[in-house]
Amino acid sequence: MLVAFVPIWVLTGLGWLTGRRGLLGAEAERVLGGFVLHLAMPAALFTALSRSRLSFHPGALGAFAVGATLTMALGFLLCAGPLRRGPGEATIGAMAAGYVNSANLGIPVALHVLGDVTFLTEVLLFQVLVVTPVILVLLDRAAGQALRPGRLASMPLRNPVIAGLALGALSSALRWSPPQWLAGPLDLLGAAAVPTALVALGLSLTTAGPRSAAAGGEVAALCGLKLLVQPALAGLAGWAVGLDRTALLAVVVCAALPTAQNTWVYAAGYAQGESVARRTVLVSTGLSMVTLAVAGWVLGG
């Protein structure tokens, strides 16, 4: 399982080293983050979803959704209440607590532990079709943009991330594959999303600024929610609906995945909670090597 984490740390370390040496200039973090958010990520989402089949296992997916929803609610309440964060930062805190790395890390972990990525595909669809729009609506509102029905309906036209996932889901539902002249460039652009996001994450570590004890406590709390509370809640929900051992393992392993780097991408794009998001991604990714191994050992027999 450790091999699945190597590319993440190598690319993040490469970004950090590049930033320390000043090889890409002072604006590199902002430019690369914008490239990921507005171009590469939408292409990656469209490509992944258009090639997926929209089929679900309601019991298992429902258990995962319960765990994710409750954990994100706890993360939001923690940040907005005792930690006194604003709505935007609390939204990023909620995402850091419950939004799993289902792509670049989730796929190799699922193959190694579960033997296939069938359920992980459902998790990916749930996150990009249900969770992501809610997160972006909350971030838009925190930025002072009033929520209106017309504005919500037109969100795919204004937000490239939602446009990519909406068009990808529609393509899958219609069983339509883009012609090669379009699919080829989208493949190339989408393939840049994960490595560029990781390099940009590494770049951001060189401009993180001073660390406070309060921020360290917030990161620790969010990592605890992500790696301990979410898989526990998802496992309890799966047990309550009578999932068999194999399905329960899939639910718990997917829930135990670390915080997705998309959390930092959105935090940077909206200038909300960037430092906490960045550190939660890194710390949860490192610690998840232990929690994933424990989950696989306990439930995998």
Tens of pLDDT, residue by residue over 92-106, are 999 999 999 887 678
Alpha-carbon Rg for the chain, nearest whole angstrom, is 18
Q: How many CB atoms lie within 10 A of CB 292?
A: 25
Domain count, the chain: 1
- Report the pLDDT averaged over residues 104-132: 79
Q: How far apart are CA 107 and CA 217, in angstroms?
A: 30
Which range is least confidently modeled, 19-28, 74-83, 98-107, 246-255?
98-107
- Report the pLDDT averaged over residues 232-259: 94
Position 237, amino acid: A
* pLDDT for residue 301 is more than 70: no
Across 109-118, 149-158, 194-203, which has the greatest mean pLDDT?
194-203
Asked if 234 and 295 touch (Cβ cutoff 8 Å), the reply is no
β-partners of residue 100 are 259
Whole-number Cα distances in Å, 78 to 75, 264, 288: 5, 19, 22
> Is residue 100 helix, strand or coil?
strand
CATH of the domain at 8: 1.20.1530.20
Position 234, amino acid: A
Report the share of the chain in percent with pLDDT over 70.
88
Instruction: Provide the domain limits for residue 247.
Output: 2-300
Helices (H), the chain: 6-21, 28-35, 41-50, 58-80, 87-98, 106-113, 118-126, 132-142, 149-153, 155-158, 160-173, 180-191, 193-204, 213-224, 230-240, 245-255, 262-270, 274-300
Q: At what angle do helices 193-204 and 180-191 cross, to 10 degrees?
A: 20
Instruction: Give the Cα-Cα-Cα angle 76, 287, 120 (nearest 5 degrees).
Output: 70
pLDDT band at residue 150 using 50, 70 and 90 as cut-offs: low
Helices (H), 174-273: 180-191, 193-204, 213-224, 230-240, 245-255, 262-270
Residue 98 token pair = 């419950």
Unique residue bearing structure tokens 């949860």: 284
Q: How far apart are CA 77 and CA 105, in angstroms?
A: 28
- Report the pLDDT averaged over residues 77-101: 93
Query: Phi-psi region for residue 242, left (φ > 0), alpha (ψ -120 to 50) or beta?
Result: left
For the entire predicted model, the pTM comes to 0.76
169 vs 108, more confident:
169
- Please tell me the predicted confidence (pLDDT) of residue 2: 59
Which range is least confidently modeled, 16-25, 199-208, 287-296?
199-208
Unique residue bearing structure tokens 């992980």: 120
29 vs 248, more confident:
248
